[in-house]
Amino acid sequence: MPRGSHQRAAEFHEMAAHAHRAAAVHHGKEDHLTGHEHSKQAMEHAAKAFRHSQEAHEKSEKASDQEEKKG
């Protein structure tokens, strides 16, 4: 099982969540420019997380198919 792929996707999800929380804090303080920057960063991390999740899923699927062929 390609654990590294899943781990990397999880890391990007965590970074996205952190950036979303930071954006919320800045928006709450009416610092909209900084909030907007954090929101943009959060979206970038979320997009990377999505791509890594897809790759991890594809690798897991291939590994599973190979195991079925062996066994």
> For 11-49, how does the pLDDT look when each residue is reduced to its tens digit (9 = 90+)?
989 998 998 898 888 888 888 778 888 888 889 989 999
Residue 37 is encoded by which pair of tokens? Answer: 């920057």
User: Any idea of the CA torsion for 61, 65, 66, 70, to the nearest 10 degrees?
Assistant: 150
- For residue 4, give the 3-state DSSP assignment: helix
Contact 38, 22 (CB under 8 A): yes
Residue 69 is encoded by which pair of tokens? Answer: 């062929």
pTM value surpassing 0.85: no
Looking at the chain, how many residues does it have?
Answer: 71
What is the per-residue pLDDT for 14?
92
